[in-house]
């Protein structure tokens, strides 16, 4: 999810470089912490970008599964046999 958020923020022109940290707790649907670091490239303060993220992105686990289409098993064939591969 962090990658998606980072790409969206850069594409929107809010920062040239951004790192996002999300912290979750068991039993709480939304992140307990959102950390943003723009390394001085942000058009807004890091705190303002954190607020934008919290207001505009649904970061509940069910929403992440839905938005990233994680129930579609596209990695099953790639992941079989672990690091040994297919040959």
Q: What does the alpha-carbon distance between residue 9 and residue 17 come to, in Å, rounded to a whole number?
A: 9
Rounded to whole angstroms, what are the CA distances from 59 to 37, 41, 45, 65, 87? Answer: 18, 24, 21, 10, 39
Q: What is the pTM of this model?
A: 0.74
Rounded to whole angstroms, what are the CA distances from 77 to 28, 53, 54? Answer: 33, 34, 36
pLDDT band at 84 (very low <50, low <70, confident <90, very high): low
Closest to 5 (Cα-Cα) out of 39, 43, 55? 55
Determine the pLDDT at residue 74.
78
Domains, the chain, in order of start with CATH, read: 2-82 (3.30.300.10)
Contacts of 66 (CB under 8 A, 6+ apart): none
Per-residue pLDDT, averaged over 44-62, amounts to 94
């Amino acid at each position: 999810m962090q990658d998606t958020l980072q790409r969206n923020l850069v594409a929107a022109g809010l920062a040239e470089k951004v790192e996002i940290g999300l912290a979750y707790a068991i039993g709480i649907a939304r992140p307990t912490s959102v950390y943003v670091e723009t390394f001085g490239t942000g058009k807004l303060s890091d705190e303002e970008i954190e607020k934008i993220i919290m207001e505009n992105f649904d970061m509940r686990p069910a929403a992440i599964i839905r938005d990233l289409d994680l129930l579609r098993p596209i990695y099953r064939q790639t992941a079989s046999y672990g690091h040994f591969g297919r040959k």
